[in-house]
Structure 1
Amino acid sequence: MNDINKFQSGILLLLIFISVLLGQVSIIGLAAGYVIIPALIIMLFLLFIQIPISDIGKSIKNIKFTAITVVINFIWTPILVFLLGRVFLSNDPDLLIGFVMLMVTPCTDWYLIFIARAKGNRALGASLLPLNFILQIILLPLYILIIGGTSVKLDVVNLLTSTIVSLLIPLVLASIYRKIILSKKGENYFEKVISKKACKFQGWFLNLAIATMFASQGRLLITNPQVLFKLLIPILLFFIINLIIGQWIGKLFKLQYEDKVVLKLTTLARNSPIALAIAVLSFPDKPIIALALVIGPLIELPVLLIISSILLKGRKIAKVI
């Protein structure tokens, strides 16, 4: 994955800007909404191709690390989100619910890209995906009720179906494809040809998912620019506080660099695409909630790019010293 994520924050922002403009055309905005999930599925397939399932099995046995991430993601983070939401968004109930849905759902897709970019433990990061999915599906209505102050009906069947389609299917297909190629061509061919190509196209499909996500909500974003500024401070504070917490926990438990990267990024990256699908399904008459989830990545992705770069550069400096 050494060539992954060649897009920089400036290019990413340009992509988002163009996507928002294109989203002003009704037919483009409508069509874009149907592309988000397929693009993410293909991206995950290309990502899972590069990860040996045996390594994922080994990494999920890391009980201590899994317990640490669960405590941070599903106990500490909701408390932090509650405090930030009440301080900054208490007068905007729809925006508060959108903020809650964005910040209490750990990322289950593109955070793996940033782990790879910072040379973290990809298999360990991937092993957390199923658990993150299950826990956030179970706990999200509770978080919304407690933090947002409003109960909401979630279509659990449709939610589980989308989870299976977006995660399990690409994981199984990637595993089968990997085994077939390894048995016929060998590991050397796989690493030099298949893995390299998968790495290259993975970034393209991530870009496509980002572009279509912003294009699908482009009109709403243009007509409600104040939402961005209202969310900016609480989201940035979330990243700063959790980054400090992750750094402290990593030192406390004496984690290796690769595992520290996973800890920091899995507790920072949020699950906007899946949360957006839940918001559209659960709150069709409250577009501001979906808009908050669209704006989230506008702040999040450049921050994750910067953090992953800092982590990698810090490691290189430490090696030199």
Structure 2
Amino acid sequence: MLMVTPCTDWYLVFTGVAKGNVPLSTSILPINLILQILLLPIFLLLFFGRSGNVEFRSLVESILLVLLIPFLLVLVTKKIVSRSNTSGTSFTGFFVKSQVLFLSLAVVAMFASEGRNLLENPDVIYKLLFPVIIFFIITFLLAQLVSRFFKFSYQNRVSLTLTTMARNSPISLAIAVSAFAYEPLVALSLVIGPLIELPILALTSQLLLKIRKKVI
């Protein structure tokens, strides 16, 4: 479930860190969101012989809280800063530099929801570590090959790489709780995913920056 759902949030943070094409990456976010909502129940049916549904009300609330409200807040903040007589550089600079920090807080909140199960089943981390790392290595190499074949610019190569590598645990988690309500280890596995994923994406962004120096 984790591997088949593209990311709709934190891949933008690492794309920005690696100096990639953030507007291009942002433009496909709605597509990724719609596709995973439509396809994840089908994947569940194919892989596990059962499907899961998210209540329409819960889905609307998630979209409002995760996408629309933050987007509106950004627009309001930009207008306030632009109309202010003082420079907004330090204000906006703080949030730009603190993106990874806020992202880490979000992951901590996810872990808090499954803290007891994690303490009772620490071996799940080791079982997931090897296959997840293999997935990220394969997707990274494929993204580099495709980028070279189509002669992408460095910025677009970063966007393709991180969009392909990053996975979307929150949506998977919501459906897992619905479809596997009496199997807590399924939800726990999806919570552990970011623990492995975030350090890999951070290392990948630094690796891409080194590639950028060679390209330039």
Q: Counterpart in 1 of 2:62? A: 162
Q: How far apart are 1:273 and its partner, in Å?
A: 2.6
Q: Counterpart in 2 of 1:286? A: 183
Aligned residue type for 1:156: F
- Of the three residues 158, 162, 172, the one matched with 1:265 is 162
Q: Counterpart in 2 of 1:36? A: none
1:142 paired to 2:42:
yes
Give yes or no for contact 1:141–1:154 (8 Å, CA) kept in 2.
Answer: no
Q: Counterpart in 1 of 2:82? A: 182
1:109 paired to 2:9:
yes
Q: Counterpart in 2 of 1:42? A: none
Q: Secondary structure at the match of 1:172?
A: helix
Distance verdict in 2 for CA 1:170–1:218, change over 3 Å: same
TM-score with structure 1 setting the length: 0.63
- Of the three residues 43, 53, 63, the one matched with 1:153 is 53
- Of the three residues 136, 151, 162, the one matched with 1:254 is 151
1:195 paired to 2:95:
no
Q: Counterpart in 1 of 2:135? A: 238
Aligned residue type for 2:64: I
Q: Between 138-147 and 172-181, report the one with greater CA deviation.
A: 172-181
Aligned residue type for 2:54: L
Q: Between 120-129 and 146-155, report the one with greater CA deviation.
A: 146-155
Q: How far apart are 1:185 and its partner, in Å?
A: 4.4
- Of the three residues 13, 16, 20, the one matched with 1:120 is 20
Give distance in 2, aligned partners of 1:110 and 1:247: 20
* Structure 2 residues not aligned, in runs of 5+: none
Q: Counterpart in 1 of 2:205? A: 308
* Structure 1 residues not aligned, in runs of 5+: 1-99
Aligned residue type for 2:106: A
What value does the CA root-mean-square deviation take over the aligned residues? 1.9
TM-score with structure 2 setting the length: 0.91
Q: Counterpart in 1 of 2:196? A: 299
Q: Deviations over 1:143-197 (max 9, x none)?
A: 11112332223323312321222111111221232134224449xx33x223202
Give yes or no for contact 1:133–1:163 (8 Å, CA) kept in 2.
Answer: no
Q: How far apart are 1:267 and its partner, in Å?
A: 0.6
Q: Deviations over 1:89-148 (max 9, x none)?
A: xxxxxxxxxxx2x11111111111111111111111222211111111111101111123
Q: Counterpart in 2 of 1:133? A: 33
Give yes or no for contact 1:159–1:278 (8 Å, CA) kept in 2.
Answer: no
Distance verdict in 2 for CA 1:185–1:121, change over 3 Å: farther
Q: How far apart are 1:231 and its partner, in Å?
A: 1.9
| TM alignment of 1:93-104, pairs within 5 A | 100=1, 102-104=2-4
Q: How far apart are 1:205 and its partner, in Å?
A: 1.7
